[in-house]
Every structure is written in structure tokens, then in C-alpha cells.
Amino acid sequence: MSRLLPHPLLSLALAAMWGLLNAPVTPATALLAGLVGWLVPFVMRLLRPGAVRVRAPGVILRLAGTVLVDVVRSNIDVARVILGLNAGTRRTGFVSIPLDLRNPTGLAVLSIIVTGTPGTLWVQYDSGTGRLLLHVLDLTDGDAWVRRIKDRYERPLMEIFS
């Protein structure tokens, strides 16, 4: 953002973390939290991360809600698969998804979402073609998975990190 505050989001996160670790917050810990949040991001400058701009807070909240529901649902699905509660045969396999999302931070968040929902595994991403290979534990319809990833996660992420 500026010379004085290079990564405002990181500063905020660090200060919040310091406050949580030292709760209840006293004036002394609040001062230290502010100092940590202000000074540590200067070390980050040596790593030269790209500037991260986040837009559309409403979309972030909606995406968080979607992911929360999906995490709970897929946890129960995978638990059923493991315990053998599902009737019929289960097919497992790889799905290739053409991604339009190119923002590195957006892709990192997508990998967290994919990993955080059991039943899908991020196998390989080809930055040249923009294709993502997923392994799906319960693969009934490959096209449905492509649509699910693109509609539910990729589109909101592109709005947030546009």
C-alpha cells in the first residue's frame, strides 16, 4: 500500500494473532500487537510477494458459507465411503479442470478449499495450460465436478482477486 505500511492485511492479521495469543488484551499487549503488526511485514518485503488486493467482501462471506457447508457435507460423504455404508459400486478417478483463474493467491485459496473438502485431492496444476488435475474419491459424473469447482469456487475467487 505505502512505504510505511507495506502489507496492511498482513499487519492486521499479525496484530489480531498477537491479541488472541495474549488475551485478555491490556494496554501493554495492545501496544506490542500494534508493533508486531507494523514491523514484521517489513521482513516480508525481502521475499517480494506480489501485491494482494482483495475485493467484494460480500462475495468473500458467501464463498466462506459455501465452503463451510461443503466441508461438512463432504466429511460425512467420505466417512460413509470409508465405513462402507454406501450401496453399489464406487468409482474413483481423475478429473481434469480447465481453470481461468490465474492469480497466484486465488489459486492458493482454491488449493486450500479443494484440500479442505475431503474427497478431492489437488494432484497437479499446469500453469502453462491452466489445467488442474484433481483426484476424486467418489466420482459419479466428471462433468458435474468440473461445473462444481468452476461455479462454486472459481467464479467467486475471480471476483475477489480480480
Residues that bind other proteins (CB under 8 A): 17, 20-21, 23-24, 71-72, 75, 78-79, 81-84, 92, 94, 96, 111-112, 114-126, 129, 131-133, 135, 137
Residue-level length of the chain: 162
| Helices vs. strands in the chain: H and E counts, helices first | 6, 3
Bridge partners, residue 133, by sequence: 96, 124
Smallest distance, other proteins to C-beta of residue 2, A: 26
Smallest distance, other proteins to C-beta of residue 100, A: 15
Smallest distance, other proteins to C-beta of residue 17, A: 6
Smaller CB distance to other proteins: residue 61 or 68?
Answer: 68
Q: Longest C-alpha distance within the chain, in Å? A: 62
Query: What backbone torsions phi and psi does residue 54 show, to the nearest 5 degrees?
Result: -110, 130
